[in-house]
């Protein structure tokens, strides 16, 4: 089964918790045991599994990446000013795989799924969800 979810982002760099729409997609698929593959389309976005209980954790992730990959110093910036966005997305990666166990995602209590926006805001980011 394959479905997509669409996410709107509001800042240039942010982590958007997409756990609930993914959870609904898994429930609708009625897959008891298997794998969920998530893939975000776009060269300046990524998918991350991280704690979603404390809002400081996603903010810390954004802050760390801003320190590690500063804006405005990359060769690609001469093209369209988002060299850092491409590098951050490449470091995190566009996909995650999550086990489906007894019809539910095998995340721990504190884990959530985040779309990582590095070149926003965007009206639409598409996440492809495939269940096998």
Q: How do residues 43-70 score in pLDDT, each as one tens digit? A: 999 999 999 999 999 999 999 999 999 9
How far apart are the C-alpha atoms of 3 and 89, rounded to whole Å? Answer: 22
| Integer-rounded Cα radius of gyration of the chain | 15
* CA quadruple 92, 97, 103, 106: dihedral sign: negative
Please tell me the pTM assigned to this model: 0.96
Domain boundaries, the chain: 2-131
Residue (of 38, 41, 42, 40) closest to 25 by Cα position: 38
Enumerate the β-bridge partners of residue 18. Answer: none
Residue with tokens 């760390």: 64
> What pLDDT digit, counting tens, does each position of 5-38 carry?
999 999 999 999 999 999 999 999 989 999 999 9
* CA quadruple 16, 21, 26, 29: dihedral sign: negative
Give the CATH class of 2-131. Answer: mainly beta
């Amino acid at each position: 089964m394959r479905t997509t979810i669409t996410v709107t982002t509001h800042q240039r760099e942010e982590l958007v918790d997409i756990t609930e729409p993914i959870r609904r997609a898994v429930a609708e698929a009625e897959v008891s045991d298997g794998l969920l593959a998530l893939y975000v389309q776009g060269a300046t976005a990524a998918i991350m599994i991280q704690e979603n209980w404390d809002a400081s954790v996603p903010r810390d992730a954004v802050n760390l990446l801003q320190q590690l990959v500063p804006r405005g110093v990359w060769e690609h910036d001469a093209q369209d000013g988002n060299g850092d966005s491409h590098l951050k997305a490449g470091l995190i990666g566009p996909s995650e795989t999550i086990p489906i166990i007894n019809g539910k995602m095998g995340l721990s209590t504190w884990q959530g799924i985040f779309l990582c926006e590095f070149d926003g805001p965007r009206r639409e980011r598409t996440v492809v969800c495939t269940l096998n």
